[in-house]
Copies of this chain bind each other. A is one copy, B any other.
Amino acid sequence: MGASSVLARIRSGNENALARMIQGDPILVDVLPAGEAIPELAERIILHAGPPIEWERMCGPMRGAICGIAVFEGWADDLTHAANLAETGEFQFHPNHHFATVGPMTGITTRSQPVLVVENRAFGNRAFCTLNEGLGKVMRFGGNDKSVLERLKWIRDVLGPGLSDALKTYDGIPLKALVARGLTMGDEMHQRNVGSSSLLIRELAPRLARTVRNQSVLGDILAFLSANDQFFLNVAMTMGKSIMDPVRGIDGATIVTAMSRNGTDFGIVVSGLGDQWFTAPVEMPVGLYFPGFTEEDANPDMGDSTIVETIGLGGFAMAAAPAVAGFVGAGSATVAAKSTHAMGQITVTKNPEWTMPSLDYEGVPTGIDIRLVVETGIAPLINTGIAHRNPGVGQVGAGVVRAPMECFEKAVEAFAHSMGLS
C-alpha cells in the first residue's frame, strides 16, 4: 500500500475516532454491586489498575490492596492468609480495562464492591468504577487495615444502595455539562474535583432526601459526600472509560484509547491496534509530599485515572485549574497554561464543549495521537496522587508524571507494521 493511501486511511480512522469521542454522551445512571454490573466477576477474580500483571511483579500498595480486598470479600481469614493465597495462585488477576472498568491508584475491583455505572447514550455502552473512599487510609492507596475494610463495608451496605435509589429517580445525570461547569470552577477532574464534586452533591442531596428513608443514614451519607472533594474523580474516570470504549478498534486510527499504570508498568492502547497493550516501566511522579514523607517513600506512578488525560482533562486541562498546579508542584498559573498548550501539540483537536475560561474559552486538547507524541518528543503530562511504596500506608503526596515515551515508540512501530510499512 502506498504512503498516500496509508495517510488517507489514518486520516479517515482518526476522523472517525474523534467524532466518536466528541459525540460521546456519558450519563451517570446507577450504582450497582460490581458482580451485578460485570457478570464475569466471579469469586476470587480481582480486577486491578493498569496493564496485565502477575502477583510476583506487583508493587507494594497493590499487594496491600489485594490482601485487604481478599479479607473484605471473605476469601481469606487475614492479610497473611490472603498473601499466601495470592502467592499460590488462588486468585485470578485481570486489568479493569478488560471489563469496561477503571479504578483509581491500585484500582482493585471485586464482586461485592458497588460501582458507578455510566452509560454512553450515543453508543449504548456502559462503564464502571468503584466509589471514591475519601482521604486518609484507603484501599486505593494500598491501605488494608480494619478502618479501611469497615469503610468499604459501609460503602457497600449503605452508600452504594443509597446512591442507587437516588439515581433511580432520574433518567440519569448528564456528565458532559457538569464537567464543562467544573472546568469553569478550577477543576481539571484529576487532582482537583472540588467544583464538580460540589455540583454533584448539590444535584444529589435533594434526591437523597426524598429516597433515603432513615434520616440518620441520610445524614451519614451527606456528611461522607460533603467531606470528599475528590468524590467526582471516580465519576470522571467512569465517564472517560465510557467515552473511550466506543473509540477502540477503528481501522487506521492512531488515537490513544487508554493510558494506565499498575505501579510497575505503564501501558497504552491505540484505537487502530485493537486491545493490545504497549508497555514500559512506569515513571516516578515529581511533586509535593505530605509532612513526614519524601520521595524515598513514594511508589512509582499507578492507577487507571489517566483515562481522564486520555479525554483531554487532568494534566491536559491544567490551565483550567491554576490552583492544582501548586498542589501537584507544577508551578504557577503561567506554567499551567504552558502545560496545556504543550499537550495541544500531541493532540489532534480541541473539545468544543469543554472550554477553559482562563484561556479565553479554548477547548481542552483532545485525542492523543501516538505519531505526534513520537514526532514532538512530548510525552503526555499526568496529574496524579502518590502512594507509599509499602503496603498498608496510603497516600503520601501528589505530583505530575509523564507517560513513558517507550510505550508510544512501540505503538508507532506496531502501527507501521500493521500498515505494511515496516
The chain A residues found within 8 Å of chain B, CB to CB, are: 181, 184-186, 194-195, 198-199, 201-203, 205-206, 209-210, 213, 215-216, 218-219, 222-223, 225-226, 322-323, 325-326, 332-334, 357-361
State the CA gap A225–B334 with chains docked (Å). Answer: 35
Given known A185-B185, A185-B194, contact A219–B206 (CB-CB < 8 A): yes
State the CA gap A223–B360 with chains docked (Å). Answer: 33
State the CA gap A100–B184 with chains docked (Å). Answer: 34
State the CA gap A25–B151 with chains docked (Å). Answer: 36
Contact of A186 among B184, B199, B333, B334 (CB under 8 A): B184
> What is the total number of copies of this protein in its complex?
2
Contact of A360 among B194, B195, B203, B333 (CB under 8 A): B333
Contact of A202 among B201, B357, B359 (CB under 8 A): B201
Residue of B nearest to A194 (CB): B185
Q: Return chain B residues, CB-CB under 8 Å to A206.
A: 219, 222-223, 226
Closest chain-B Cβ to A408's Cβ sits at a distance in Å of: 32
Residue of B nearest to A207 (CB): B219
State the CA gap A26–B24 with chains docked (Å). Answer: 45
Q: Does B205 lie within 8 Å of A201, measured CB to CB?
A: yes
Contact of A198 among B199, B213, B215, B358 (CB under 8 A): B199
**Could you list some 17 contacts between A and B, CB below 8 A?**
A185-B195, A195-B195, A198-B199, A198-B201, A198-B202, A203-B226, A205-B226, A209-B215, A209-B222, A210-B216, A210-B219, A213-B215, A215-B218, A325-B357, A332-B360, A332-B361, A333-B357
State the CA gap A242–B96 with chains docked (Å). Answer: 53
State the CA gap A293–B271 with chains docked (Å). Answer: 49
State the CA gap A202–B229 with chains docked (Å). Answer: 10
Among A181, A184, A203, A333, which residue has the most Cβ atoms of chain B within 10 A? A184
Contact of A181 among B194, B326, B332 (CB under 8 A): B194
Q: Return chain B residues, CB-CB under 8 Å to A358.
A: 322, 333, 358
State the CA gap A10–B112 with chains docked (Å). Answer: 70
State the CA gap A332–B334 with chains docked (Å). Answer: 16
Q: Return chain B residues, CB-CB under 8 Å to A218.
A: 209, 215
Residue of B nearest to A222 (CB): B206
Q: Return chain B residues, CB-CB under 8 Å to A203.
A: 226
Q: Return chain B residues, CB-CB under 8 Å to A359.
A: 333
State the CA gap A110–B44 with chains docked (Å). Answer: 67
Among A185, A194, A359, which residue has the most Cβ atoms of chain B within 10 A? A185
Q: Return chain B residues, CB-CB under 8 Å to A201.
A: 198, 201-202, 205
State the CA gap A135–B36 with chains docked (Å). Answer: 42
Q: Return chain B residues, CB-CB under 8 Å to A360.
A: 322, 332-334
Closest chain-B Cβ to A236's Cβ sits at a distance in Å of: 16
Closest chain-B Cβ to A332's Cβ sits at a distance in Å of: 4
Q: Does B209 lie within 8 Å of A226, measured CB to CB?
A: no
State the CA gap A201–B358 with chains docked (Å). Answer: 26
Q: Does A210 lie within 8 Å of B215, measured CB to CB?
A: yes
Q: Return chain B residues, CB-CB under 8 Å to A199.
A: 194, 198
State the CA gap A222–B215 with chains docked (Å). Answer: 14
Residue of B nearest to A214 (CB): B215
Q: Return chain B residues, CB-CB under 8 Å to A215.
A: 209-210, 213, 215, 218
State the CA gap A236–B287 with chains docked (Å). Answer: 35
Q: Return chain B residues, CB-CB under 8 Å to A219.
A: 206, 209-210
State the CA gap A219–B212 with chains docked (Å). Answer: 11
Q: Does B195 lie within 8 Å of A222, measured CB to CB?
A: no
State the CA gap A184–B195 with chains docked (Å). Answer: 10
Closest chain-B Cβ to A211's Cβ sits at a distance in Å of: 9
Q: Return chain B residues, CB-CB under 8 Å to A323.
A: 184, 357
State the CA gap A70–B216 with chains docked (Å). Answer: 41
Known: A186-B186, A202-B225, A332-B361. 12 other contacts (CB 8 A): A184-B323, A194-B199, A198-B198, A202-B202, A203-B226, A209-B209, A209-B219, A323-B357, A326-B357, A326-B361, A333-B357, A333-B360
